[in-house]
Structure 1
Amino acid sequence: MIRFDDLLRRRPNVADLLREAGVRPDSIRTDRSFSSGWSFDDGDTPVATVWREELADLDHTPWRQFPNPIGRTDLVGSRRRRAIELFSMMVRNLGKPIRVILQSRQDEAKLKTAGSKRRGLDPEPWYSSIDGESVFLQRGSARASPLVSLDGEPMIRREPTYSLRESRPDQVAFRERVSAKSSGRCAMTSAPGEVCDAAHFPWADWRKDNGAHHGALLRKDIHAALDRGLISIDQGGRVSVSTELASAYPAYGELHGTTVPL
């Protein structure tokens, strides 16, 4: 079991803890604003402050979930600004080590307003991973394997769903439209149409968007990867491939950065 109490009896000064983490800030004011939702990123060493009282699973691998603060109405003023900065810092550093300053509240009964009673820099790195609209910060390793494109940008993982198949009365016509754009071959690899599907782009609604510009003829395996979010196509037709897929099957990595006709 992690002895956080031992860590929290260490230096209470935030500037000292930052320097211990490897950060050399020009000037740091250790005031009340450091007690909640604070982050620092000098471009080399990202640091986050986390309330010990808000951590989950203290007996095993502690983690903390941070919902996207953009849509939250309960955050105002400096609390909102700090929450957005903290969330953005963790998204920028997905899968990279983040130093964490743990803090304990002066009064646990005042969870949202109590100042910091004790602080300490955790010697172990933490890692952030994205899951839907939330970011998870976990001690020691990423809570879930982050899906990142070869450009280093986060991608949305789409888990498989199982349901009754809905009829697609326009599917035949849709296939003819997208097939014509790539001469009956895969829009990415030129594979013959016999091994291809008519695939909707991720941003299109297959229930109503059945124009030629809403999809492309794609090899069946590429279509499956697109449905899972391992491959993405933006509204400009640019293809992004996740590092996860490219490292396992390098041939897919060659598709990254290419474009498909719209």
Structure 2
Amino acid sequence: MSAPRCRRLEGKVAVVTASTAGIGLGIVRRLAQEGARVVVSSRKAATVEETVAALRREGLEVAGTACHVGDKAALQRLIQFTLDTYGKIDILVSNAAVNPAAGPILSMEDSAIQKIVDINIVSAVLLAKLAVPHMPSGGSIVFVSSYTAFNPSPPIAMYAVSKTALLGLTKALAEELGPQQGIRVNCLAPGIVPTKFASALVASLELEELNKSRTLLGRLGTPGDMAAAVAFLASEDAAYITGEALVVAGGMQSRL
């Protein structure tokens, strides 16, 4: 996808978690291309440094810091780093997620269930809780969910259930933050994007073709497709949209 010509996010500051690869990296690149100053984060400091350096070579305004979203102190440091570096937060994108195990929910190890809940749900709540006091009216929060949130099914049903929770979190926070603070809260529900995280879904040519056939456009998604949707939701073009989940899945069945 070529660089966008629009600059809808000039003067804005964005924070994106899990953003050194895949969908997260695509989101950082798009937001920065549209004029935002963006904070990159992921667990490994070296990876963050490499990503920041690469994006700066593209002429983009980014900074970065390591952050393990399962550690509340690390989340606090991420928010403080953003404030120290850019002075404010206009856009928050909660993208971090894990799927440590597959199979029936009731057969899954307790530790795997707890990890899914902690990283995919609890960290999103805590991140918003820490960021919102520093966000102005007109700010935007985007939670990254999944098309599977609308129909959790094996073998990743527990992961999908955690993404269903983000749909509810989006609705709840939109109602809490909109009337009094003017902050919009929305949710991106990606379809299949063949990143490292989703590599099992394209592990063979046959499986990849099967998943392509489930779309109406005959192809799988790209990080750029997801990033374009996030940039829209974060921009003034979506000024009258809050509490919504935008499915970007090439027409894959998710809901009526």
TM-score by length of 2: 0.26
- Structure with more strand by fraction: 1
Taking structure 1 as the reference length, what is the TM-score of the superposition? 0.25
More helix per residue: 2
Q: Which of these two proteins has the greater Rg computed from alpha carbons?
A: 1
Higher relative contact order (CA 8 A, sep 6+): 2
